[in-house]
């Protein structure tokens, strides 16, 4: 399960830039990704079970971290 929140920069600060917690069957990763050229960030949480495809997890992580390469254009966001 993926949860993401757009926030003002500095609103949420996880203990680590990428935290992982959970038991053997269930894990949750949380992180904050700043949005380049803005005063905003995305606080996200990715929760998954032991049977999830590792390639899918990596694609999700890379997509979330890649949000840092976006630039705000008024009320629009453009990918670089």
- Phi then psi for residue 9, to 5 deg, are -55, 135
Per residue of the chain (80 residues), what is the pLDDT tens digit?
Answer: 888 888 888 886 654 444 555 556 778 888 888 888 888 888 888 888 888 999 999 998 888 888 777 655 444 544 43
Cβ pair 27, 66 in contact under 8 A: no
Q: What is the pLDDT of residue 53?
A: 92
- Residue 4, helix vs strand vs coil: strand
Query: What is the overall mean pLDDT for the chain?
Result: 75
Give the domain extent around 18: 2-79
Q: The pTM is what?
A: 0.66
- Specify the number of domains making up the chain: 1
């Amino acid at each position: 399960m993926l949860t993401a929140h757009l926030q003002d920069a500095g609103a949420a600060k996880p203990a680590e830039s990428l935290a992982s917690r959970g038991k053997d069957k269930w894990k949750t990763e949380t992180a904050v990704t700043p949005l380049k050229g803005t005063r905003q960030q995305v606080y996200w949480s990715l929760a998954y079970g032991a049977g999830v495809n590792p390639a899918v997890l990596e694609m999700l992580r890379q997509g979330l971290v890649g949000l840092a390469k976006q630039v705000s254009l008024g009320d629009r966001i453009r990918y670089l």
